[in-house]
Structure 1
Amino acid sequence: MTDRNPRRAPIPVGDVVPGDPPVPITVWPVPAPQEGETMSNAMGVRLVYNLTHPSDLVIDLAVGPQLACAVIAAHRRSHLHAPRQVGWGREPATLIVTGWPVDDTTPPVEFFVRCHASLALGGCVAVLLPHGDVTLPVDVIIAAKRAGLAYLQHIVAADRPPRRGQRTQLDIHTDVLILTRSASETGGTDG
């Protein structure tokens, strides 16, 4: 039997740019970072295990030891860097992790150009933002796209997980923007 009025998928609304596919949003139930640090231990572990493989290189621009501990535990390699340093090494990294803002002196597009140059094809930049300012993620994404990175995923970090079948008020503390250097670069700015 053929349905004469087939149902169509809903048209996405909201933060959609014509020509760009919608970006998936994922909720990670992880604790909030301690005051003055970029992430919790659980966030560091999730980033490393989800975005890298054994022996991959990670550039750690985060404040605090959490990412370094996760890198060691997962048998990855890491370079710890100050965001203002001129070079981040010659070997391309699979993952660069940073808090935001990086510093007050580096323009965002310039920072992401350095990230792009330091990433392996298919590598990712994870930008951790404190939740609350609705314009900040947009500004970060625009700067990253101008530098040739594509917006791959948005991770919302909340203190408690959502429960199936129940309306849960998420206590969101961090937005994580995953940006990528597309493995199929053709000179455009999207992956």
Structure 2
Amino acid sequence: MTDRNHYRAPVPVGDVVPGDPPVPITVWPVPTPHEGEAMSNAMGMRLVHNLTHPSDLIIDLAEGPQLACAIIAAHRRSHLHAARPVGWGRESATLIVTGWPHADTSAVDFFLRCRAHLVPGGCVAVVLAHGDVALPVDVVIAAKRAGLAYLQHIVAADRLPRRGEQEQLAIHTDVLILTRSAIQGGATDG
């Protein structure tokens, strides 16, 4: 006799790497960033509020003032500067936000540096213009080689389709959330 109230979870389908759990995809309805900027003000606010707590340290490597404004409004602490080889500070951060790509260093070296400046459980948010399907994969592979885990994929869309409409999402930005796991004692992160 079988228990009719007990069902197995569905098998995930789609872009799943064998042995890796599926990464959740979240849609954020936020405005498109202005030309030459990594994110809109609303995107900056959501990143800061969703990924940090008051007094957490944030390293801002993004183009434009949006993240800096969000950090100040949310009463977080920050190192605000361009992605240069010096000047990240000595204190570890809860969140590092960056645009992509970085021309000064290899992707793996950049993520090794990020990992070294993150608290256990801290995150790196990589903000990408939507469109290049290979770029997120390259970023995730480099991050994993540096010991970071792929935690979440955020899709930012200007407008969401309304119920009953066939309109597609107006996606403008992808944000890859990578994390330094809090595993201690010889276990590997990522």
Instruction: Give SS of 1:124's match.
Output: strand
Show the counterpart of 1:101. Answer: 101
**1:130, 1:173 within 8 Å by CA — same for their partners in 2?**
yes
Q: Distance in 2 between matches of 1:86 and 1:170?
A: 39
Show the counterpart of 1:187. Answer: 187
Deviations 1:68-114 (A, max 9, x none): 00000000001012212234111100000001112x23100000000
**TM-score, with normalisation over the residues of structure 1?**
0.92
**TM-score, with normalisation over the residues of structure 2?**
0.92
**Matched ranges for 1:1-191 at <5 A:** 2-3=2-3, 7-102=7-102, 104-163=103-162, 167-185=166-184, 186-190=186-190
Compute the displacement of 1:168 (Å).
4.1
**2:58, 2:76 within 8 Å by CA — same for their partners in 1?**
yes
State the percentage of identical aligned residues.
78
Aligned residue pairs total 189
Compute the displacement of 1:189 (Å).
4.2
What is the aligned-residue RMSD (CA, Å)? 1.9
Deviations 1:147-191 (A, max 9, x none): 00000000000001344565441000000000000012443242x
Q: Distance in 1 between matches of 2:4 and 2:92?
A: 53
Q: Distance in 2 between matches of 1:124 and 1:175?
A: 15
Q: Distance in 2 between matches of 1:119 and 1:5?
A: 44
Give 5+ residue unaligned stretches, structure 2: none
